[in-house]
Structure 1
């Protein structure tokens, strides 16, 4: 079934003259303002490097707040490294041939107060209508206690992915709540900790079904025409490079004559109808197919769950559980399946294990599924989730409980029934007698266009399906007044007194008795305890204290760039002008967003040197995938579809080979030399050997080993010489901004981790954004969307459910770039490089830095080699990482890209005091290792093997360890004043995988332990 856009074509398909003029005028004003402004700060100190000095005026700029070290401290750090100024350091760090020859043309830094006022004016160009569009997106009420204490709380949104579970027990418990909620509502046995959106979750279900049914050789996936159109589009995009044929049809006329490996259904359907799918599912199973149901979570409080209907997989969007619309995201998708398929399930899974003292403890389970291990054998490149949004959705269920959720669902359904009755009395025909919250009106004559235009004039958005069909979806925010206004709209001028009273004598039975839910759900005490705001608030803060976030200390994770997420950057996220827009409103209602998108794209293009930007990919993994699809499409359009070989260095991110396989490419690894650089001779040999079929090279720059490789331009030239394209992973862009540019270096496409370099917070493992930049010849192939005109003329199709991905978090990066200005961004990069080299220098003589550039310097991160300690003291990387927790730090990235090492990235936001505290901690730990090496401390019973130490350890009645309790938990004076207590001791990972439990434990399990 082919659908028209969701609003009248005349409104949706035009970027009208007013909007175009508004964008142009705003860009012109902004350029003038930023050119005229002159600021003074530490940045203007000539001793720090003239290239980035600012003209002085008595105005504070944000860069001074963002960059940690002060001017005298920078000078002291430079002196330790043997440099007079930053310019000299950068000249020795970055190869001269790739240095940017002009300052970034972004303007000067701004004051926070003024910029937020400017952004507010832009935001107010968005028009917040009452939207009844539906299609998987519903307005909702975010409980204020959740908005203030999770969504707007840096104690929740600044954590990293919970790879160190001992200091992530709070968010792991919140995610376990989410998984339990999904399991209960869907009637399936196991659920993951969320995916990116409903469209990509459906595509992951298709891929999982394909893998499970691989032995059959069947390559056809059947999709109901009653699925949301954006979901169908994402599934089709994902299927094409894998050689999967997608057949779109009607489940009522389905026959098993043609073999299929899987099927996708929508429940309720995109037009609101509710069908009993049991017969279809049985028929599909007889044909050997696995069945996925995309189900609305709120409706499942009233409807028979997918698991009870026989579905194998359930996916969907949890957005209506308290997460703002945000013009499309970020929202947490869910994914549930049968336990039989747990090892094939994509994404992350929180499981219950135990710590060394036998206490229940949570961790990420089955981590062998992670892409850094499986690489090109992975069935998905998903290495992230939408953790923050999943936590909000889970807490929404905790706050309301099963009775509260049913109350909300019944009210929404009651209003829908009342609206249906009123419309029938006005003479309209319903498209279906069964529905939950969505109605389809079938008009006798072509007149939907007129009705929608009339609705827009009254500040109401309806779903425009075609000239004879309109959709109306109600939600948690709908009132009796809204129903009356809708009836008045469809009455077309009839007197209000003549309108039907929808609340009188309604007898419509819209949910078939055979599909009414009878099974209980959310019976666990966590969903039946915290219904007062007092209790929920205390619960949230108890969980928050179990997590180490940037509000606690530095998180020095290599390749992850855990920098300041400034409050002024975060404030606009919850402005209603950004948060309450449905993603498919007419474009002219989102003029503010369009201005922001255009400016942000212009700035990213200037920073990277690329000709075109797509903001659609809603994670770094999706940016990788989208970039490779663009390259694939480029070759296809040139008649070179045989180009499918992708060269990938052995040091690359694990998502790189997984993305390449998903894009239909064959991975050929490239060796690295002893210095950690790409082995150019091996690259040359493999590019030449595969020259007829060479599609791309995937490269990270600076390298995954934290070094600016001198031969990067030669590497790019080799690939181009043999007809390939160069994809650059943007994970390390924080070392490039203002100093060099991917496009100038030779990259054809690059994904940009806005959740790293451009300050969107990691949210405990999501949200993220991974836009791509491309050279001019690739612009025609940028991702498109079936409902909103975006992308290139020959675009690759939709890679995310919403046209601009997670729109509501893009203001974060806009504010950051505007506040910093070109000079501030460049200085931030310089200081990031300075901080990394300062750490490497301070640790000299205590630890070996594994890789350095030709001048003995690192880029923005450094790898510390810990492998020698396994032999000298039986101490491994885990022991050192866990001991760092006792010192109050989140451990660096462990054993990647080299096993037995840690990769440290301090970022530019950390002060010299924090850097020194971190270095002092590592030096002290080295001395603790030396005690083992010299025999002063036992090789098994020592400070490192027992780390991290908990409050329970400190207060235990017996203490049989050869060191004091005081030394265990208070290793420095700082920890006495600012102690962060891990909630559990070291976790037994193997036990958790052998005894897999992925839903909430009984409450007494914790007390008994």
Structure 2
């Protein structure tokens, strides 16, 4: 039974998501159906260059055709348009609920230029002389990020923030190996509110992880850091502001202590949205940082796929960067792959040039003062939201009271105690009002968390609509909690009570081929 609630008119937007009984595209297959009928190669061309197939080495030729669906153009279009109506996104709704992932409006003009043939028809194996334009853009984005961060060189090879963190942990190890101290220095220090990828990537490199917890004021504990550093310290990695939205004003003292112990300091600036033009990694004492182009600099996340974690280092660490990096030599742009201690590639070629172009266009459109405006508006929006959310019954923001930076990790702990409604219930109910809402990454250090980051994009009216929806759900929780617990009511997907299928790898099918194998096997049984 679908429950449709009547609500009074106001800022809460009633929403019902489109639902199509749409099969996966492989099930739409009709043998012989075509979307495009390719013409035969003209005989004159075939005489000149051959048929295009006979040159392929025999061992590279498929023994059978790929199992792809055969389907007409109009049915392909219909299929994907229907699927697009079954999702929420920043183009459809007020999107401030992705927390640390910084979802903002990306100008459509940037999408148009990134999709132009001048970009899409580039090939990474082209001669450098034929790609001077995109190398120039890459180098100029490098220069812009140097200004933003204070670093001396940037690589755009890492495909994500986590990959950039892994690259930085690799540079730390390579640096100490070059100095003959790799075996001695086997510890990385981080903080509990920093992203879990910081500890995880350092652990993958073989480091022991030391985690600092907050002091009584809610900041990373400086005295615990002093106790932790030693001749075994390889490095210190931190996000600042941390994922709670708290900015550590004593960060330069932290980096000084680590440097005195011989460690490298590297900075998770995946989200620099509240810092642009205000504070930089260099002045905070960091040797390396990364900034996600797919967060601060308005390029798409691409579903966790082809993103970019721009990796910057100070001059003494240039020789350790993944290569090649783009440099200018006279009037030409060149690929420098001659770094003595390079950690090697962390991704093929130069990463994602379309993202580099989008970020460069975004920066050029705003200019230095515009970038600072972005940070100031993002902080203003966040603190307005913070002030309003704390007035909602059952909501709180643990640790430091007062202003936060560009995001806040809130808690519904009191709501859960009072009503039994938890943060996952609220998350599903928010979908009924066309809002996305993010809880937190694990582990849940803040109980019943929800993490909001408005960025500079939404207006006051947008923020008020989001606040009104949270307030409405809080009121429901205290008056009729089953409405929230049984949500969503207006979505294509509804509450799933049995999670066995999600927890059992034997029931997972991540490709059509694996699905067919598993279903055919079960039918035989």
Instruction: Indicate whether the TM-score tops 0.5.
Output: yes
Larger-Rg structure: 1
Matched, 1:763 2:302: yes
Secondary structure at the aligned position of 1:743 is classed as coil
- What corresponds to 2:467 in structure 1? 919
- What corresponds to 1:834 in structure 2? 380
- What corresponds to 2:143 in structure 1? 602
Aligned-partner Cα distance in 2 for 1:651–1:636: 29
> Structure 1 residues 479, 778: CA separation in 2 closer, same or farther (over 3 Å shift)?
farther
Deviation, structure 1 residue 654:
1.9
> Structure 1 residues 401, 811: CA separation in 2 closer, same or farther (over 3 Å shift)?
farther
Q: Which of 500, 510, 522 is equivalent to 1:990? A: 500
Aligned-partner Cα distance in 2 for 1:709–1:509: 59
> Structure 1 residues 882, 485: CA separation in 2 closer, same or farther (over 3 Å shift)?
same
Deviations 1:727-753 (A, max 9, x none): 111122111111100111111111110
> Structure 1 residues 930, 571: CA separation in 2 closer, same or farther (over 3 Å shift)?
same
- What corresponds to 1:796 in structure 2? 343
- What corresponds to 2:264 in structure 1? 725
Aligned-partner Cα distance in 2 for 1:912–1:744: 33
- What corresponds to 1:372 in structure 2? none
Secondary structure at the aligned position of 2:165 is classed as helix
Aligned-partner Cα distance in 1 for 2:54–2:159: 44
Aligned-partner Cα distance in 1 for 2:395–2:365: 38
Judge conservation of contact 1:728–1:751 (CA < 8 Å) in 2: yes
Matched, 1:535 2:75: yes
Structure 2 unaligned spans of 5+: 1-15, 326-333, 520-525
Deviations 1:778-836 (A, max 9, x none): 1121112599534633211111111x211122110010000000001100100000001
Deviation, structure 1 residue 579:
1.5
> Structure 1 residues 167, 693: CA separation in 2 closer, same or farther (over 3 Å shift)?
farther
Matched, 1:625 2:184: no
Deviation, structure 1 residue 554:
2.1
Aligned-partner Cα distance in 2 for 1:521–1:840: 52
- What corresponds to 1:870 in structure 2? 416
- What corresponds to 1:678 in structure 2? 220
Judge conservation of contact 1:709–1:853 (CA < 8 Å) in 2: no
Deviation, structure 1 residue 167:
8.2
> Structure 1 residues 516, 723: CA separation in 2 closer, same or farther (over 3 Å shift)?
closer
Deviation, structure 1 residue 588:
0.8
- What corresponds to 2:119 in structure 1? 578
Aligned-partner Cα distance in 2 for 1:585–1:670: 48
Secondary structure at the aligned position of 2:507 is classed as coil
Judge conservation of contact 2:430–2:470 (CA < 8 Å) in 1: yes
Deviation, structure 1 residue 627:
1.5
Q: How does 1:698-713 map to 2 (within 5 A)?
A: 698-713=237-252
Judge conservation of contact 2:395–2:414 (CA < 8 Å) in 1: no
Aligned-partner Cα distance in 2 for 1:563–1:748: 29
- What corresponds to 1:816 in structure 2? 362
Aligned-partner Cα distance in 1 for 2:56–2:174: 50
The number of equivalent residue pairs is: 482
Aligned-partner Cα distance in 1 for 2:341–2:188: 22
RMSD of equivalent CA atoms: 3.4
Matched, 1:545 2:85: yes
Deviations 1:145-200 (A, max 9, x none): xxxxxxxxxxxxxxxxxxxxx98999xx99x76xx89xxxxxxxxxxxxxxxxxxx
Secondary structure at the aligned position of 1:720 is classed as helix
Matched, 1:946 2:478: no
Matched, 1:735 2:239: no
Deviations 1:328-381 (A, max 9, x none): xxxxxxxxxxxxxxxxxxxxxxxxxxxxxxxxxxxxxxxxxxxxxxxxxxxxxx
Deviation, structure 1 residue 664:
3.1
Aligned-partner Cα distance in 2 for 1:735–1:571: 27
Judge conservation of contact 1:728–1:747 (CA < 8 Å) in 2: yes
Deviation, structure 1 residue 919:
0.5
> Structure 1 residues 711, 572: CA separation in 2 closer, same or farther (over 3 Å shift)?
same
Secondary structure at the aligned position of 1:727 is classed as strand
Matched, 1:750 2:289: yes
Deviations 1:434-466 (A, max 9, x none): xxxxxxxxxxxxxxxxxxxxxxxxxxxxxxxxx
Greater percentage in helix: 1
Secondary structure at the aligned position of 2:347 is classed as coil
Aligned-partner Cα distance in 2 for 1:546–1:996: 24
Judge conservation of contact 2:188–2:209 (CA < 8 Å) in 1: yes
Deviation, structure 1 residue 883:
1.0
> Structure 1 residues 481, 852: CA separation in 2 closer, same or farther (over 3 Å shift)?
farther
Aligned-partner Cα distance in 2 for 1:479–1:910: 55
Judge conservation of contact 2:274–2:374 (CA < 8 Å) in 1: no
Deviation, structure 1 residue 663:
2.5
Matched, 1:647 2:157: no
Secondary structure at the aligned position of 1:732 is classed as coil
Judge conservation of contact 1:851–1:858 (CA < 8 Å) in 2: no
Deviation, structure 1 residue 616:
1.2
Deviation, structure 1 residue 848:
4.1
Q: TM-score, normalised by structure 2?
A: 0.83
> Structure 1 residues 510, 616: CA separation in 2 closer, same or farther (over 3 Å shift)?
closer
Judge conservation of contact 1:781–1:791 (CA < 8 Å) in 2: no
Aligned-partner Cα distance in 1 for 2:209–2:473: 41
- What corresponds to 1:590 in structure 2? 131
Deviation, structure 1 residue 662:
2.5
- What corresponds to 2:522 in structure 1? none
Judge conservation of contact 1:617–1:805 (CA < 8 Å) in 2: yes
Matched, 1:634 2:168: no
- What corresponds to 2:478 in structure 1? 930
> Structure 1 residues 888, 583: CA separation in 2 closer, same or farther (over 3 Å shift)?
same
> Structure 1 residues 949, 795: CA separation in 2 closer, same or farther (over 3 Å shift)?
same
Q: TM-score, normalised by structure 1?
A: 0.45
> Structure 1 residues 679, 510: CA separation in 2 closer, same or farther (over 3 Å shift)?
closer
- What corresponds to 1:850 in structure 2? 397
Secondary structure at the aligned position of 2:427 is classed as helix
